[in-house]
Structure formats: C-alpha cells, structure tokens
Amino acid sequence: MIRKILKWTGLVILFIVAGVSVATAFRQHLTYTAPYPGIKASADTAIIAKGRRLVLGPGHCVDCHSTVKNVDSLLGRGQEPALSGGLPFKLPFGTFYTRNLTPDSATGIGGMTDGEIARVLRYSVKKNGEAVLPFMPFQNMSDDDLTAVISYLRSIKPVKNKIPDHEYNVMGQVIKAFLIEPTGPTEPVKAVVKPDTTIAYGRHLVMAVANCNECHTKRNGIGQYVGEPLAGGIEFEEEGKATLISPNLTPHPSGRIYGWSQQDFIKRFRMGKIIKHSHMPWESYGRMTDEELKAIYKYLKTVKPVDTNKK
C-alpha cells in the first residue's frame, strides 16, 4: 500500500514538474500591448543639455550603461562617456547585460522610434512587445524630462557595440515566464515639472528620476515593496556575502540623516563614495546641483517618520 502511494505521489510530482517545464518554455516570449507616449526628440540645445544633466546626474543612466570606471575624470578632460552598454549584472537568476543607448542603427537605439524608446521607459514594453526587466524605474518621469533624455540620447555619438542576450538560469526562466510583467506609471504623469527647490520637485527627483525609493524602501525577492517608504532595510550582497543594508532616510531619530542640516546633506553628496561596497551611484548623484539636493532634502523631511529600531 505504501509503495503504491509513493508510486502515485512520484507520478503526480513528475507530471507537475513536466507541466511547469512546458509552460515555462512556452511563456519565455510573451508580448504585451502598451501605448506609445507622444514624445518627440528635439534638436533644441537647451533641451539636449537638460537631458545630459539627467542622464549623467540624478537619472544615473551612465552608471549602468557605460563601462567607464571614472566618469568625472573623463568629463574633466572634456570627453563624453559612451553609453554603449555591455555592463554585466550577475544575479541569482542569471546574468544580464545593459543595453547600448547610443543611436547606432544596428546595435543601439538608432533603429527605434521616439515613441518606442518612450514606451520602454514609461510602460516597460520593448519594441517587440516583450516586457522589460524591472531595472529601470522611470515610469513616472514627466513628459519634459523624458523628451530631454531621448533628445540627448539621439545627439550622442553612435557606437557599434552588439550586446549579448541575457542569460537566464532555470530559476530565471521561471521568473520570466510567470512573474515578469510590464510596469506602468503609478500616478498621473505630469507634462512638465519645474526644477526648483520645492518639496514637490524634491519628491519628483526622489520618486521618479533619482529613484531613491528603489533602494531605500524594503522589497521582497521579486521586487515588490514590502516596507515603509524610504525606511531602508534592503540587504545588499557581493559574491554571496552581505555587505550593507540601505539606511532609513525618514525623519525619525533612528534615521541616517536625522539631525542633519541642509548643508550637511549637500556636503555628504560632495564627498562621494566612502563605503567601499555601497551600491549608491555617488558619482552621478554628486553631479546634482545644490538646488536639486535642497529639494530632495526638503522632501525627505516631510515623509512619514519610521522607527527602524523596533523589533
């Protein structure tokens, strides 16, 4: 009797595994529909300059889409970092390579329309309809910011650099098949957000451009937010070893910046990377203006205080 039960249990498990395997294989290239934002690249030098500031500064695109180690040094010599991609990210579910953002027609974004590029950033849907991996959280970026970014990318030197396909392991294939879906805006997208030192602009930078929320709000293994906004708690690893936990940025006494003055806050960003294993793009954030940092500081002082010392 026991042998028969074990036999049937084994057959059921085998059937389930086979079913999941087949379903996983069939769901590797699911496609989705999403609107094309009415974004048109501009040749206006002021708009291009704004896009450059966003890409090299608070938007920190350069940190992942360039393999240059010291961008500030390059910029200091009057040279521009090539956003030609190819940086590998080795994660538990596979190895993933950043894309070529230069206007090369064969290997970059030169073969994409403005609307197709905008759709990737706002709705997480690629040109072929597949969902983008959730590594670029710019869905709430304003129309004028998005226009500026695309205008800048169109203006830079094309670089021919064919990027390898992402390499999913078995776990990654299952995640791609059943958990990866497009992510769109979480609130009404503004046409224009005026740069100034207000709390409103600080919120825009924190939540839509610099994306502080992505690392300073605790998330689960598939990227869903499970913690209080900006209260930290994400544990980072290097080669399987824990290196640091993202700090609490809320105005509670247990928070990292509690008691900091506005000038203290700006000064810290001008100091750059201090903690060796920090994942924060300090070099890009250090290019933010004092006005941008003032706005961020003011906004962080308004969020809900969270006591992270509670057990």
Q: Can you tell me which residue has the tokens 């910029």? A: 75
DSSP state of 168: E
**What Rg do the C-alpha atoms of the chain give, in angstroms?**
22
Residue 23's pLDDT is 78
* 3-class SS letters over 172-206: HHHHHHHCCCCCCCCCCCCCCCCCCCCHHHHHHHH
Residue 220's pLDDT is 78
Contact assessment for residue 52 and residue 150, using Cβ atoms and an 8 Å cutoff = no
Beta strands in the chain (DSSP E): 88-91, 94-97, 167-168, 235-238, 241-245
Half-sphere exposure of 283 (CA within 13 A, CB side): 16
Domain 193-311 has CATH 1.20.120: no
Residue 136's pLDDT is 85
Tokens of 266: 């700006």
131, β-bridge pairs: 125
Contact assessment for residue 156 and residue 83, using Cβ atoms and an 8 Å cutoff = yes
Distance CA 151, CA 103 (A): 11
Distance CA 82, CA 52 (A): 12
Residue pLDDT, tens place only, 63-102: 999 999 889 999 999 999 999 999 999 888 899 999 999 9
Q: Which amino acid is residue 119, in one-letter code?
A: R
> What per-residue string of b and e applies to 18-46 under the rule 16 or more CB within 10 Å gives b?
eeeeeebeeeeeeeeebeebebebbeeee
Residue 55's pLDDT is 98
Residue 6's pLDDT is 54
Picking from 236, 237, 265, 257, the residue whose alpha carbon sits closest to that of residue 308 is 257
> What per-residue string of b and e applies to 149-165 under the rule 16 or more CB within 10 Å gives b?
bbbbbbbbebbebebee
Torsion of Cα atoms, 181 then 183 then 186 then 188, to 10°: -130
Residue boundaries of the structural domains of the chain = 1-29, 31-186, 193-311
Distance CA 179, CA 145 (A): 29
Residue 275's pLDDT is 87
Residue 16's pLDDT is 64
Tokens of 178: 């059943």
Task: Work out the widest C-alpha separation in the chain, in whole angstroms.
Answer: 80
Q: Can you tell me which residue has the tokens 């809320």? A: 250
> What per-residue string of b and e applies to 84-103 under the rule 16 or more CB within 10 Å gives b?
bbbbeeeeebbebebbbbbb
Residue 241's pLDDT is 63
Tokens of 226: 């499970």
Q: What's the distance, CA 135 to chain centroid? A: 4
Q: Can you tell me which residue has the tokens 């956003």? A: 83
Which residues, given as ranges, of the chain have pLDDT below 50? none
Residue 17's pLDDT is 59
Distance CA 3, CA 42 (A): 73
